[in-house]
């Protein structure tokens, strides 16, 4: 999936994307009671198109699947687990969209084995490859 396709998917979903400056994050998503959904990305922290694709798609899946959480929910004893769960699920959705099972099996058949080779072939970050492989292995597909 190319970067333009990702932004078109986001736009067609009625989600706004804007550039923001963030201290300790690359991106965030937000949804309001009124139904507004938006994604903020600090592009100065993104080095490659591969990284931008993953970041934008991961934030989209937070909103698409309702995988959001309150950052200021400090009284909740399960806060950390809720955040980690939402992040893992959004990352898995993004990775499996960027690196399909068919793409992986074709690459393996062509002799590609190293993470960096696969990442370069699909123009995604290496962690997207590992996340996708783990996702498909957990489902017994690899």
- Report the relative pairing of strands 27-31 and 37-41 from DSSP bridges: antiparallel
19 three-state secondary structure: strand
First to last CA, the chain: 21
**What is this structure's pTM?**
0.90
In angstroms, the CA 113 to CA 35 distance is: 44
* pLDDT for position 74: 75
Strands annotated E in the chain:
16-19, 27-31, 37-41
* pLDDT for position 75: 81
- The one-digit pLDDT tens for each residue of the chain (142 residues) are 999 999 999 999 999 999 999 998 999 999 887 878 999 999 999 999 999 999 999 999 999 998 887 777 778 788 788 889 999 999 999 999 999 999 999 999 999 999 999 999 999 999 999 999 999 999 999 8
Q: Is the torsion defined by CA of 44, 49, 52, 54 positive or negative?
A: negative
CA angle 38, 99, 106 (to 5 degrees): 160
């Amino acid at each position: 999936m190319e970067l333009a396709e990702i932004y078109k998917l986001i736009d067609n979903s009625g989600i706004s994307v804007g550039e923001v400056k963030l201290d300790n994050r690359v991106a965030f998503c937000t949804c309001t009671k009124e139904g507004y959904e938006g994604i903020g990305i600090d592009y100065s922290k993104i080095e490659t198109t591969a990284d931008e694709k993953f970041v934008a798609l991961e934030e989209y899946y937070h909103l698409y699947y309702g995988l959001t959480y309150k950052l200021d929910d400090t009284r909740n004893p399960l806060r950390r687990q809720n955040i980690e769960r939402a992040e893992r699920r959004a990352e898995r959705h993004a990775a499996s969209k960027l690196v399909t099972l068919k793409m992986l099996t074709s690459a393996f058949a062509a002799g590609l084995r190293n993470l960096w080779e696969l990442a370069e072939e699909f123009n995604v970050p290496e962690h997207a490859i590992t996340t996708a492989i783990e996702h498909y292995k957990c489902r017994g597909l690899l």
